[in-house]
């Protein structure tokens, strides 16, 4: 059986190894990704983002359980940060997902950011495609949750969950600062803690403010309170996701098309940027132009980075 | 730009043993050595450990155990790896072991055992020289 056939048949080892190669950007992945692509497009992708420790992994665990009850298979991609000092990483999201380790209907992959900004990894979109091609019905993507602008996941997911917790005044401020727009659903997790209702009220106000600024006002983001640790509110969250899904698939609104276009466009730009850079660097090297020498010229103020880049592009893109 | 291939390691604690300090110390040391460490926490069955190792495509499994229950879990992990045709994954152990158990564990295929007081440098060097990241798939 070819690797492609093995992956489509759901073979764990073959899939896991391809995911590794994608992460490492091994050139041999491209023919495989091309062959897998026609088999994608069936999975429903749900992104979860929010600050460190708000309970994203615990929610992923609960949602996986809920989707399994529907008989759906689940792929999970969970991102943790790479240490900028060593390049290594501790990937600990799995700790919260232990009960799914033996379920053949759940495939979990832990990923390290490897210097990529935006909350995901350079490889996440390709990995979503592979999990999709291997037949996972639902793909849950947990972002690294470091800052305030991990909006990237919204370009990959059908439904984006913005997770927050009560009593973090700053938290709501952070949402205001930028990622408000990407949330299809707002989750106030750890609702067992004091101030949950207040946080819901604050969010509701922000959503109303935000709606006035948004072009697309046909979807009003939902707010759901959960206690992920105990499984409270998970049914509400599940129903909210289903509601958003129904909205996307509703022909009159046609929002599915705009989501898929957004995803195609962001993936296109991402690959184009990488491949163009790779090609140009390769040709520069072939001509004996080293980055080292060019950097030296900039460092010594013999030239400037703007001039050099434009010179290189003029020569290479002719 | 083919990235440098990173070593991927699973650190797992089999059985009911709650001593996780050593496992955490080791996980951090491996991260600081530039490896990607999947950490799954305590109370793992050998089945869970092997499933995780396969899904995460790790090159090496490090089992940490201080409770004395290694005589069941270590051989069982090796057995399951064989069943899944994954004997290429290196397995090492750390924690507390009666002296006479160590040759038995090595006989079932555990490559190395590190006991309390083992220097982190020594452990990292062993891994660096003994385990190489798995080769890429051939298209
Ligand atoms: C701290 C400690 C505890 C803490 C644990 C805190 C925690 N979260 O880890 C607490 C107080 C909770 C505890 C409880 C118990 N403990 Co206790 N505990 C210890 C103690 C004193 C130190 C362990 C430790 O943390 N060392 C520091 C770490 C960094 O070292 P390490 O784990 O050995 O790891 C090093 C190496 O072993 C190796 N290594 C370890 N794992 C791995 C993995 C890999 C992949 C690699 C490469 C290397 C590696 O590298 C590390 C660095 O050198 C030991 C005695 C001892 N001196 O070892 C007893 C000891 C382990 N405990 C023991 C016992 C019996 C218990 C209890 C059952 C006591 C009781 N009756 O309640 C409970 C059980 C708890 C449970 N749920 O399992 C016994 C175990 C006896 C046995 N094996 O037969 C010991 C040996 C004490 C004794 N002499 O009797 N304990
Ligand atoms: N009190 C309370 N604690 C919770 C709840 N949900 C999760 N937690 C705890 O919050 C801590 C963090 O949970 P995770 O699921 O690991 O959070 P995360 O957002 O994935 O964290 P990172 O991946 O590190 O960003 C854990 O100790 C959980 O047990 C909840 O509903 N209530
Ligand atoms: Mg997490």
Please report the domains of chain A, with CATH numbers, ordered by start residue. 41-253 (3.40.50.300), 269-317 (no CATH)
Task: Please report the pLDDT score of residue A289 as a whole number.
Answer: 85
For residues B44 and B61, give the distance between their C-alpha atoms in angstroms, rounded to a whole number.
13
The β-bridge partners of B39 are: B11
Domain count, chain B: 1
User: Is B3 within the bounds of a domain?
Assistant: no
pLDDT at B1 over 50: no
- Cβ atoms within 10 Å of A57's Cβ, excluding its own: 23
Task: Please report the pLDDT score of residue B55 as a whole number.
Answer: 98
- For residues A272-298, average pLDDT: 90
> Which residue of B38, B47, B61, B82 is the best one to mutate when testing the A interface, meaning the one whose CB has the most A CBs within 10 A?
B38
- For residues B40-59, average pLDDT: 96
The CA–CA distances, whole Å, from A129 to A8, A40, B124 equal 11, 6, 35
pLDDT at A177 over 80: no
Q: List, for residues A69-117, the tens digit of each pLDDT value.
A: 999 999 999 999 999 999 999 999 999 999 999 999 999 999 999 988 8
pTM of the model: 0.94
What CATH code is carried by the domain that includes residue B44?
A: 3.40.50.280
pLDDT at B2 over 70: no
User: Is B113 within the bounds of a domain?
Assistant: yes
Q: What is the ipTM of this complex?
A: 0.95
> Which residue of A3, A18, A22, A94 is the best one to mutate when testing the B interface, meaning the one whose CB has the most B CBs within 10 A?
A94
> Residue B72: in which H helix or E strand, if any?
helix B70-83
Q: How far B6 CA lies from chain A's nearest CA (Å)?
A: 8
A142 touches A78 (CB < 8 A): yes
Q: Which of the four pLDDT bands, split at 50, 70 and 90, describes residue A183?
A: confident
Q: List, for residues A108-136, the tens digit of each pLDDT value.
A: 999 999 988 888 998 999 999 999 999 99
Map tokens 């705009």 to a residue: A258
Q: How many percent of chain A have pLDDT more than 70?
A: 92
User: Is B138 within the bounds of a domain?
Assistant: no
- For residues A42-63, average pLDDT: 96
pLDDT at A10 over 80: yes
Q: A89 and B52: CB-CB below 8 Å? A: no
Q: Which residue of B has its CA nearest to A95?
A: B40
Q: Domain range holding B111?
A: 8-129
> From the CB of A189, is ligand 2 less than 6 Å away?
yes
Which residue among B41, B56, B136 sits closest to A28, beta carbon to beta carbon? Answer: B136
> From the CB of B127, is ligand 1 less than 6 Å away?
no
User: Is B107 within the bounds of a domain?
Assistant: yes
User: Is B135 within the bounds of a domain?
Assistant: no
């Amino acid at each position: 059986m070819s690797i492609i056939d093995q992956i489509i048949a759901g073979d764990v080892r073959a899939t896991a190894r391809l995911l590794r190669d994608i992460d490492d950007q091994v050139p041999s992945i491209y023919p495989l990704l091309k062959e897998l692509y026609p088999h994608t497009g069936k999975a429903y992708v749900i992104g979860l983002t929010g600050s460190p420790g708000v309970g994203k992994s615990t929610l992923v665990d609960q949602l996986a359980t809920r989707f399994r009850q529907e008989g759906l298979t689940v792929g999970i991609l969970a991102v943790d940060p790479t240490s900028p000092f060593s390049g290594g990483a501790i990937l600990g999201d799995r700790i919260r997902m232990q009960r799914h380790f033996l379920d053949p209907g759940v495939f979990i992959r832990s990923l390290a950011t490897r210097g990529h900004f935006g909350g995901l990894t350079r490889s996440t979109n390709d990995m979503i495609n592979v999990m999709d091609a291997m037949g996972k019905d639902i793909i849950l993507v947990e972002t690294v949750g470091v800052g305030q602008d991990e909006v990237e996941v919204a370009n990959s997911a059908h439904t984006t969950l913005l997770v927050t917790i009560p009593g973090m005044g700053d938290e709501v401020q952070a949402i205001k600062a930028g990622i408000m727009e990407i949330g299809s659903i707002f989750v106030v997790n750890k609702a067992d803690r004091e101030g949950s209702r207040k946080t819901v009220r604050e969010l509701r106000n922000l959503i109303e403010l935000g709606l006035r600024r948004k072009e697309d006002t046909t979807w009003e983001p939902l707010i759901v309170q959960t206690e992920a640790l105990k499984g409270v509110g998970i049914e509400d969250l599940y129903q909210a996701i289903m509601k958003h899904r129904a909205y996307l698939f509703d022909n009159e609104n046609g929002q599915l098309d705009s989501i898929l276009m957004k995803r195609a466009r962001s993936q296109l730009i991402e690959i184009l940027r990488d491949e163009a850079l790779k090609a140009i660097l390769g040709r520069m090297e072939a001509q004996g132009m080293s980055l080292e020498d060019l950097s030296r010229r900039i460092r010594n103020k013999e030239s400037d980075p703007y001039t050099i880049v434009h010179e290189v592009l003029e020569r290479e893109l002719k | 730009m083919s990235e440098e291939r990173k070593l991927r390691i699973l650190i797992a604690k089999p059985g009911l043993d709650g001593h996780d300090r050593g496992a955490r110390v080791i996980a951090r040391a491996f991260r600081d050595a530039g490896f990607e460490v999947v950490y799954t926490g305590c109370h793992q069955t050998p089945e869970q450990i092997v499933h995780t190792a396969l899904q995460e495509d790790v090159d090496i499994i490090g089992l940490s155990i201080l409770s004395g229950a290694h005589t069941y879990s270590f051989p069982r992990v090796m057995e399951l790896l064989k069943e899944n045709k994954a004997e290429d994954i290196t397995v090492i152990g750390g924690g507390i072991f009666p002296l006479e158990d160590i040759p038995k564990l090595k006989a079932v295929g555990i490559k190395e055992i590190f006991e309390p007081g083992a220097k982190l440098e020594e452990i990292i060097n062993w891994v660096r020289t003994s385990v190489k990241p798995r080769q890429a798939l051939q298209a």
